[in-house]
Amino acid sequence: MNPNHSSAMTGPPAAQQPDWPDTAALRRAADDLAALPALVAAEDCDRLRERLAAVARGEALLLQGGDCAESLAEAGPDTTAAKYRTLNLMAAVVSEASGLPVIRLGRIAGQFAKPRSSPTELRGDVELPAYRGDMVNGPAFTAAARTPDPDRLRRVYHASLGTLNDLERLTAADGGEFWTSHEALILEYERALSRLTPAGRYALSGHLLWIGERTRRPDGAHVAFAARVRNPVAVKLGPSSTPDDALRLIDLLDPDREPGRLTFISRMGAGAVRDALPDLVAKVAASGAEVVWVCDPVHGNTVSSPTGHKTRRLDDVLDEIRGFLEVHRSLGTHPGGFHLELTGDHVTECVGGTYEIRFEDLPTRYETVCDPRLNLGQSLDVAFELAAMYTASPVTDRGTTWATV
Ligand SMILES: O=C[C@H](O)[C@H](O)COP(=O)(O)O
Ligand SMILES: C=C(OP(=O)(O)O)C(=O)O
Ligand SMILES: [Mn+2]
């Protein structure tokens, strides 16, 4: 794995790219995708950008959620409907309590690629390439499954198309808008599904694409790609982010200062959010840029259970949300929304909740292929806790009236 892999001879470095063993096959897969219909419409990306502009103005909230990594084996109408209904229920609860419209954005129909802390995984004395999401390789711990396979680009395209069809049926039945998003990680996939339209270039693999914590360097290939497309885009900001990083990203990704174009997803961890976030939000606000601030209260709170399962405590998730709201309250800025890893099923991957999952319960239904997801009950716990926070401190004007949270 070459961390400075550059996918074009002269392009900027692209972090977290797989070592594809057959680059000719990769080229053929990308060419096939480039000739297939785009997955979403450019006009819909524009419409989502308008909705996000309302969030930037403090007139709406964003709820973004879904699997850490979608799975080809699990893809289908039932899992899609379960995730859709979970987000729908959460949005209804939060909207009722806050009095604000809630925009529903799935981590769905394309969330098939993962950045990893380590390029390899060691079990006993066997070392294999890390699982990088079903767009790249398979989760089974065998050399065959872990070898990056370019045909997977085609498979996730078709699975995403099926999911989009299912989502269309679901939204037609209840009349609401629902948008799709994923991390723009594998550049061959994203470039192959970008299209030049009369209004400019769009990444048409999803409505909103985000850049992850591990690929957000301002001089990197992911930021360069996002800068070239007109979709709404987001960037994760972890505890090492500096105000200067944020301001550079604004200049690169939102040079025209278009409200709704750029979202920052803060993922600091419950222990760091109150210290790390205020300076970022204050300096961005002082620059005059109108970005959307979203809280991802899961990625900074991953721990290992005594049984070695990757997990998260619901209490930490809620504490980071509270910290995020406190920071915005004290600065008079709008806490624009929430980004969560969740599923509509009754999995046992995170601990805590009204129907409490304990460390010892984790093996019962631990089904994620990457990070632990909140189950249906835990997702609703988050929604009702949010409702309680909004009821205690009503939003009346740009989120400035957070008396207590
Ligand atoms: O979102 C997913 C994970 O946080 C990311 O892939 C890193 O996971 P890892 O530390 O298990 O590699
Ligand atoms: C990898 C992810 O997050 P981050 O880039 O914030 O670590 C993710 O959202 O699954
Ligand atoms: Mn994750």
Distance of CA 343 to the CA centre of its chain: 14
Say yes or no to pLDDT of 156 above 60. Answer: yes
Query: For residue range 283-297, what is the model confidence (pLDDT) as tens digits?
Result: 999 999 999 999 999
Which residues, judged by CB distance below 6 Å to any ligand atom, belong to the binding site of ligand 2?
68, 115, 183, 212-214, 236, 267, 299, 371
Atom 7 (ligand 2) nearest CA: 213
Query: For residue range 338-366, what is the model confidence (pLDDT) as tens digits?
Result: 999 999 999 999 999 999 999 999 999 99
Nearest atom of ligand 1 to the alpha carbon of 68: 1
358 is in an annotated binding site: no
Q: Which is higher by pLDDT, 397 or 166?
A: 166
Q: Is 115 in the pocket of ligand 1 (CB under 6 A)?
A: yes
b or e along 312-351 (b: 16 or more beta carbons within 10 Å of the residue's beta carbon)?
bbbebbbbbbbbbbbbbbebebbbbbbbbbbbbbebbbbb
Say yes or no to pLDDT of 397 above 90. Answer: no
The alpha carbon of 89 and the centre of ligand 3 are apart by a number of angstroms equal to 22
Rg (alpha carbons) of the chain, rounded to whole number = 20
Tokens of 89: 């229920």
**Whole-prediction pTM:** 0.96
Handedness of CA 38, 190, 66, 267 (dihedral sign): negative
Choice from 236, 265, 296, 301 to test ligand 2 binding pocket (greatest atom count within 8 A of CB): 236
pLDDT at 393: 86
Contact 220, 14 (CB under 8 A): yes
Indicate the range of 38-52, 263-277, 389-403 predicted with least confidence: 389-403
Query: For residue range 65-104, what is the model confidence (pLDDT) as tens digits?
Result: 999 999 999 999 999 999 999 999 999 999 999 999 999 9
pLDDT at 121: 98
Nearest atom of ligand 1 to the alpha carbon of 115: 6
Contact 219, 229 (CB under 8 A): no
Say yes or no to pLDDT of 264 above 50. Answer: yes
CA dist 158 and 170 (Å) reads 19
Report the greatest alpha carbon distance in the chain.
59
Residues 97-126 have a mean pLDDT of 98
pLDDT at 394: 82
In this prediction, what percent of the chain has a pLDDT beyond 70?
Answer: 95
**CB 126: neighbour CB atoms within 10 A?**
10
Q: Is 370 in the pocket of ligand 1 (CB under 6 A)?
A: yes
The alpha carbon of 208 and the centre of ligand 2 are apart by a number of angstroms equal to 15
pLDDT at 147: 98
| Spatial CA neighbour of 162 closest among 85, 104, 75 | 75
> For residue 1, what pLDDT band results from cuts at 50, 70 and 90?
very low
The full length of the chain comes to 405
Say yes or no to pLDDT of 405 above 50. Answer: no
Tokens of 209: 């694409």
Query: For residue range 368-388, what is the model confidence (pLDDT) as tens digits?
Result: 999 999 999 999 999 999 999
In this prediction, what percent of the chain has a pLDDT beyond 90?
Answer: 93
**Torsion angles phi and psi, residue 273, rounded to 5:** -60, -40
Atom 3 (ligand 1) nearest CA: 371
Q: Kindly provide the ipTM of the predicted complex, given to two decimals.
A: 0.98
pLDDT at 193: 98
Nearest atom of ligand 2 to the alpha carbon of 236: 6
Q: Which is higher by pLDDT, 401 or 44?
A: 44
pLDDT at 395: 75
Q: Which ligand is nearest to the CA of 267?
A: 2
What burial class does residue 67 get, using C-beta atoms within 10 Å of its C-beta: 0-12 exposed, 13-18 middle, 19+ buried? buried
Label each residue of the chain as H, E or C.
Answer: CCCCCCCCCCCCCCCCCCCCCCHHHHHHHHHHHHHCCCCCCHHHHHHHHHHHHHHHCCCCEEEEEECCCCCCCCCCHHHHHHHHHHHHHHHHHHHHHHCCCEEEEEECCCCCCCCCCCCEEEECCEEEECCCCCCCCCCCCCHHHHCCCCHHHHHHHHHHHHHHHHHHHHHHHHCCCCEEEEECCCHHHHHHCEEEECCEEEECCCCEEEECCCCCCCCCHHHHHHHHCCCCEEEEECCCCCHHHHHHHHHHHCCCCCCCCEEEEECCCCCCHHHHHHHHHHHHHHHCCCCEEEECCCCCCCEECCCCCEECEHHHHHHHHHHHHHHHHHHCCCCCEEEEEECCCCCCCCEECCCCECHHHCCCCCCCCCCCCECHHHHHHHHHHHHHHHHHCCCCCCCCCCCCC
pLDDT at 106: 98
CA dist 92 and 391 (Å) reads 14
Nearest atom of ligand 1 to the alpha carbon of 370: 2
CA dist 379 and 119 (Å) reads 31
CA dist 380 and 151 (Å) reads 37
**CB 31: neighbour CB atoms within 10 A?**
10
Q: Quickly tell me which residue has 């053929």 as its tokens.
A: 28
Q: Is 371 in the pocket of ligand 1 (CB under 6 A)?
A: yes
Say yes or no to pLDDT of 165 above 70. Answer: yes
| Spatial CA neighbour of 194 closest among 184, 202, 186, 206 | 202
> For residue 396, what pLDDT band results from cuts at 50, 70 and 90?
low
pLDDT at 326: 96
> Which domains are delineated in the chain?
23-392 (3.20.20.70)
Say yes or no to pLDDT of 7 above 70. Answer: no
